[in-house]
Structure 1
């Protein structure tokens, strides 16, 4: 999971799940606590699913909201 996707690609990460922002990678403090938990859970699920895939080169995993 990375908020700076270009840097993640540069250093050779092969699975890149974009996060939301630098100060709040897995949340949005302008939303309710319930919405933040849903958002965090979804991003982590996407990241765990990405680990199950056989990937040979840098891949940016699409996160559908």
Structure 2
């Protein structure tokens, strides 16, 4: 999980799940706690699915 996709590709990450921002990768303090929980739950689910996915080249998983 990262917020700087080009950097992740450059260093050779094979599975990339985009996050939101540098200071708040899995949250947005401008939203309610319920919305933050939903956001975190969804992004974490995508990340776990990315780990279970067979890939042959670096892949960015869309959220």
Q: What TM-score comes out, normalization by structure 1 length?
A: 0.94
Structure 2 stretches lacking a partner, 5+ long: none
- Verify: 1:2 aligned to 2:15, yes or no: no
- Aligned residue for 1:23, secondary structure, equals coil
* Consecutive aligned runs of 4 or more in structure 1 exceeding 6 Å deviation: none
Structure 1 position 56, deviation (Å): 1.7
Matches within 5 A, 1:1-65: 1-63=1-63
Q: Distance in 1 between matches of 2:18 and 2:35?
A: 18
- Aligned residue for 1:28, secondary structure, equals coil
Structure 1 stretches lacking a partner, 5+ long: none
Q: What TM-score comes out, normalization by structure 2 length?
A: 0.97
Structure 1 position 35, deviation (Å): 0.5
Structure 1 position 6, deviation (Å): 0.5
Quote the RMSD (CA, aligned, Å): 0.5
